[in-house]
Amino acid sequence: MKKQSITLLIIVFMTVNLLAQDDKYLWLEDVENPKALEWVDGWNKKSLAEIKGNKNYQDIYRKNLEIYNSDERIADPQMIGEFIYNFWQDKTHERGIWRRTTLKSYLTGVPEWETLLDIDKLSEKDGIKWVYKGASGLYPDYKRFMVSLSKGGGDAVIWKEFDVVGKTFVQGGFELPEAKGSVSWVDENTLFVSTDFGNGMTTSGYPKEVRLWKRGTPLSEAEQVFEGKETDMSVSAFAYQTKTKTYKVVSKRTSFYTGNIFLLENAQLKKAELPEDIELAAILNNQVILQLKSDWETGGKTWKQGSVVSIDYNDLIQDKINLKLVVLPDDRSSVTSVAVTKNALVVNMLNNVKSELYKFTLKNEWQKELIKTPELGNITMGSTDDESENYFFYFTNFLEPSTLYLGNSANGEIKKIKSLPAYFPTDKYKVLQFEAISKDGTKIPYFVVGSKNINDGNNPTLLYAYGGFEIPQLPSYNAVMGNAWLEKGGVYVLANIRGGGEFGPKWHQAGLKENRQRVYDDFHAVAANLVERKITKPSKLGIFGGSNGGLLVGVAYTQRPDLYGAVVCAVPLFDMKRYNKLLAGASWMAEYGNPDIPEEWEYIRKYSPYQNIKPGMKYPEVFFTTSTRDDRVHPAHARKAVAKMDESGYKVYYFENTEGGHAGASTNEQRAQMYALIYTYLNMKLMNEQ
């Protein structure tokens, strides 16, 4: 190593350690430390006493709980083999039941459910607050599943083999101890396993190794398939089983957006010669479906960013890059999801932030056909069946409750199955779409939902956005928001800022790393535009964001406190100097940059909220929320933010749920409470409802 390189490393190390020494709240990063938990308890008691003491709290909480526990909710259907599976929570089943029925019974509207696993009873028996995290079934008869359970809702889970015929965990069956990772059935006696094998995880806290585990053998003796590096983000594998072939795929993620795909064929691992940022979306009739995140020049041709293309599996394994174009979105459209039925791709697209559904079938070239769905709203794909042409999807918009449809990709027909009830009247509201001009001249679309007479400049307004990880923010019916906010005279705004996926990879990549400030400029621009249009004024404008969105609103109020009157900062990233050292933080450096590299810290430090809290500012009274059991975004981000705000003389509110994981809540009661606290706080600050 060159002398100057060693000198630079020493300087970086010393700088990081000096900054850490300056942080008097590092002790709050020790999640279960008694002193830290005592601090949490004190803040919870103080904040909850004030918010729950508000005259609106109990009414909002009661209505929230009624919505969450309603039997009129849609039982989300998962088509697996001959059955429809569903996980259900209500007032009787606080932690939920995993159940199933037939498709015929489900379509009657009053299905006869067969309970497979009662999580409440299991929790009582084990003395553990289990949270159901999903189940992976064994093709083709699906009599065995690997069930995933979390202690308190974190990302770390245990996996246990379950017999759905006997409705019991298999004695002596496959079982993995608690860890972050994944499993996938290869056959009835073999699993792909990525977990903590005792030799360390990646710096992001995920598995770095995949093994093939044979039934009846110790996990420690499972055959290694692939081992990555500690500096990789994660390593995982899945087996996609069909009647004619089992496709075995290993994925090494070097960052959140880059990695390599390996194919296990004839016991040999073959690296697929694909761009590192490509996404394997599906496999259909031996066609591997790929989504392009950047231009791909191959075979004398350029395949454009945002495209979906396909390649025959046999060509891919032989490095013959013979691509076929499935779809190429334009500048104002993007692909949000790709799903597979027996003989078709069902592609969900956005056109100027409005959903459209298409069917694609392969006849020498891919043929495109528009599926006639409801218009001017948001479509979310539900379960699909690769053994038939059936698929489910949901349609909603701000004023139309979510409706479940069953589609058939062979005949193009769709059938309405069930709609949620209207939990609040919608005829007195309207939806508008505007554009704000960001600092660099980019047009930023946003939606406004409010009464039909909102242009008086004095409306309590709640602005929500996310702006990261290529996740689009789309119109949807929110019964809790409708009751707790719109019905009390509020206006709701959803902003489609950069960093998201509303207009494809370019929209996302425009806000990465050194360009992150563009995301925050977009948000400020929407806020200012709301004031210019006389929809609201700063003292009446509240903002709400969670996770990456929590970082967004943290930046918003520290950069432009003059624009905002209330802030809900939920499960946030906040200390961007140390985020990569806390839990899964290192996995997001492709999004934000590496604060340990001086050149990258130079742009991160300019917006990192924790470092930019200053005394003597006119900050709004922020409400921070998090969960002790959040093992994705460390609760210390919110803890330290509150401690530093309090030290600087600012009034803040804080609530840390003792379970719930990154979602912040595990049960309907907890969800009802969380959103009652949030909307009561917003009522207090923006509607002067003390």
**Which of the pair, 291 or 455, is modelled with greater confidence?**
291
Would the pLDDT of 594 be above 60?
Answer: yes
pLDDT in tens, 435-493: 999 999 999 999 999 999 887 899 999 999 999 999 999 999 999 999 999 999 999 99
> pTM for the full model?
0.91
User: Among the options 251, 419, 547, 587, which is catalytic?
Assistant: 547
Q: Among the listed ranges 44-48, 396-400, 551-555, 657-661, which one has the minimum average pLDDT value?
A: 657-661
Alpha-carbon dihedral 634, 637, 640, 642, rounded to 10 degrees: -120
Q: What is the pLDDT of residue 6?
A: 40
Based on the residue annotation, tell me whether 547 is a catalytic residue of this protein.
yes
Mean pLDDT score of the chain, rounded to an integer?
A: 95
Q: How many CB atoms sit inside 10 A of residue 517's CB?
A: 16
Would the pLDDT of 135 be above 80?
Answer: yes
Percent of the chain with pLDDT over 90: 93
Residues 89, 668 contacting (CB under 8 angstroms): yes
Label residue 486 left, alpha or beta by phi (over 0 means left) and psi (-120 to 50 means alpha): alpha
Would the pLDDT of 283 be above 90?
Answer: yes
Would the pLDDT of 690 be above 90?
Answer: no
Coil, strand or helix: which one is 320? coil
Distance CA 453, CA 432 (A): 12
Contacts of 496 (CB under 8 A, 6+ apart): 353, 444, 445, 446, 447, 465, 472, 473, 502
**Shortest CA distance to 537 belongs to which of 526, 528, 525, 524?**
528
Element (H, E) at 289: strand 287-291
What is the length of the chain? 690
Q: What is the pLDDT of residue 15?
A: 43
Confidence of residue 10 (pLDDT cuts 50, 70, 90): very low
Confidence of residue 150 (pLDDT cuts 50, 70, 90): very high
pLDDT in tens, 180-231: 999 999 999 999 999 999 999 999 999 999 999 999 999 999 999 999 999 9
pLDDT in tens, 18-61: 445 589 999 999 999 999 999 999 999 999 999 999 999 999 99
Would the pLDDT of 2 be above 60?
Answer: no
Domain 32-65+429-686 belongs to what architecture?
A: 3-Layer(aba) Sandwich (3.40)
Q: What is the pLDDT of residue 650?
A: 98
Average pLDDT over residues 116-124: 98
CA 82 to chain centre: 29
Based on the residue annotation, tell me whether 662 is a catalytic residue of this protein.
yes
* DSSP annotation of 207: -
Cis bond before residue 140 (omega within 30° of 0):
yes
